[in-house]
């Protein structure tokens, strides 16, 4: 029996919930694999030896750091699931703008916390990660595809094509053409583009596609009424360090950034 672990660091547990939502697929997976560690749903207090560990959440405290190092040591394959584990998540969106001290002062009034905390980091900054399944939350089908592939000795592969590709496949009308701010052209597909189908632009929760043209994206967004500074913040929400504003060309909106 292959031993699988599902580990939560600092996050919202949304990815773990999505995994639980894969009811039918999970029961099939459990014919070949054992869920050996899953504290959200099982009485598991210590990390056992694992073949496959799925890690949710960002590394934000000393406990997270210890836990993820232990998981790495005891697991053959480590998969970071969700945008927090892959990029740091929403909690990392202002990492480059502010100091930890400033963040702590705003939230805890400068009082000392009982445990050591860090700026939220992706798992790959702390340990080696074999695969990344971004998304906020992760996509169920990608989770099933990954586990099924690994159970059969196949390496999962995720082409970093843009979300626009999936809108074309599902015949969803282009929101950029309709004037709605949409990050589809620069975002990593694989979710099936559910947001654009419900009339809201892609929020970029899965991070960057290959060769994203951020200069052009910023230009498109500012043309659709966002100030340049707001467009940059919009792009930053889920991308963590993978979005570097310094690398951008200068598209002034005339209203001041």
Partner 1 sequence: MERELKVNHLTRVEGHGAVELKLEGSQVKEIKLSFTEGPRFFEFITRERLFSEIPKIVSRICGICYVSHRLAAAKAIEDAFKTEVPEAVELMRRLLIVGEFLESHALHLYFLALPDYMGYGSAVEMAKDYPNVVRRGFKIKEVGNRIMKLLGGKTVHGEAIVAGGFTRAPEKEELELVIDWLTEILPELEATAFLFDSLEYFELESPVELEVSLENPVPSEPSDRVAVSNGLKFTKQEFEHFIKEEVSPYSTAKRSTVNGKAFRIGPLARVNRGEDFYTEETKEVLSRLKNRFPSQNPLLANLARAVEMVELAHRGVKYAEKLIELLPFEPKAELEPGEFGGYGVKEAPRGVLYHHYRFSPSGHCIGANIVTPTAQLQACIEEDLKALAEKFSYLPDSQLKKRAEMLIRAYDP
For residue 155, the minimal CB distance to partner 1 (Å) is 27
Shorter beta-carbon distance to partner 1: residue 154 or 178: 178
Q: Is 60 in the site for partner 1 (CB under 8 A)?
A: yes
For residue 138, the minimal CB distance to partner 1 (Å) is 9
- Contact between residue 90 and residue 136 where contact means Cβ atoms under 8 Å apart: yes
| Count of residues interacting with partner 1 (CB under 8 A) | 62
Taking CB under 8 A as the criterion, the residue among 28, 74, 224, 233 binding partner 1 is 233
Q: Is 230 in the site for partner 1 (CB under 8 A)?
A: yes
Q: How far apart are CA 94 and CA 80, in angstroms?
A: 21
Helix axes 214-223, 228-236, angle to 10 degrees: 130
Q: Is 124 in the site for partner 1 (CB under 8 A)?
A: no
User: Taking CB under 8 A as the criterion, which residues in 202-221 touch partner 1?
Assistant: 203
- Tell me the window of 71-79, 211-219, 230-238, 243-251 that interacts with partner 1 (CB under 8 A): 230-238
The CA distances from residue 128 to 65, 69, 70, in Å, are 13, 9, 12
Backbone angles phi, psi at 132, to 5 degrees: -125, 130
Backbone angles phi, psi at 53, to 5 degrees: -115, 130
- Contact between residue 190 and residue 142 where contact means Cβ atoms under 8 Å apart: yes
Taking CB under 8 A as the criterion, the residue among 53, 86, 120, 167 binding partner 1 is 120
Classify the phi-psi angles of 146: left when phi > 0, otherwise alpha if psi is within -120 to 50, otherwise beta: alpha
Q: How far apart are CA 46 and CA 179, in angstroms?
A: 51
Q: Is 242 in the site for partner 1 (CB under 8 A)?
A: no
What does the binding site for partner 1 look like in residue numbers (CB under 8 A)? 8-18, 20-21, 23, 30, 35, 38-45, 57-58, 60-61, 63-64, 89-91, 93-94, 98, 102-104, 106-109, 111, 113-115, 117, 120, 136-137, 194-195, 197-200, 203, 230, 233-234, 237
């Amino acid at each position: 029996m292959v031993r699988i672990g599902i580990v939560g660091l600092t996050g919202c547990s949304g990815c773990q919930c999505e995994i639980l939502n894969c009811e039918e697929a999970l029961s099939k997976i459990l014919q070949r694999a054992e869920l050996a560690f899953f504290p959200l749903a099982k009485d598991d207090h210590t990390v056992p030896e694992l073949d496959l560990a799925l890690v949710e959440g960002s590394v934000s405290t000393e406990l997270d750091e210890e836990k993820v190092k232990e998981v790495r040591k005891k697991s053959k394959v480590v998969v970071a699931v969700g945008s927090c584990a892959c990029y740091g998540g929403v909690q990392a969106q202002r990492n480059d703008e502010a100091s930890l001290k400033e963040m702590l002062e705003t939230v805890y009034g400068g009082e000392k916390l009982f445990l050591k905390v860090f700026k939220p980091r992706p798992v790959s900054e702390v340990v080696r990660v074999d695969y990344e399944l971004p998304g906020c939350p992760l996509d169920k089908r990608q989770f099933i595809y990954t586990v099924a592939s690994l159970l059969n000795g196949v390496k999962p592969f995720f082409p970093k094509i843009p979300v626009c590709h999936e809108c074309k496949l599902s015949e969803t009308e282009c929101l950029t053409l309709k004037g709605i701010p949409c990050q589809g052209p620069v975002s990593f597909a694989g979710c099936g583009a559910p947001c654009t189908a419900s009339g809201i632009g892609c929020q970029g929760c899965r991070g960057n596609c290959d060769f994203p043209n951020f200069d052009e994206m910023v230009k498109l967004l500012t043309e659709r009424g966002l100030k340049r500074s707001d467009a940059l913040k919009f792009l930053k929400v889920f991308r963590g360090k993978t979005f570097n504003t310094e690398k951008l060309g200068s598209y002034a909106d005339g209203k001041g950034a």
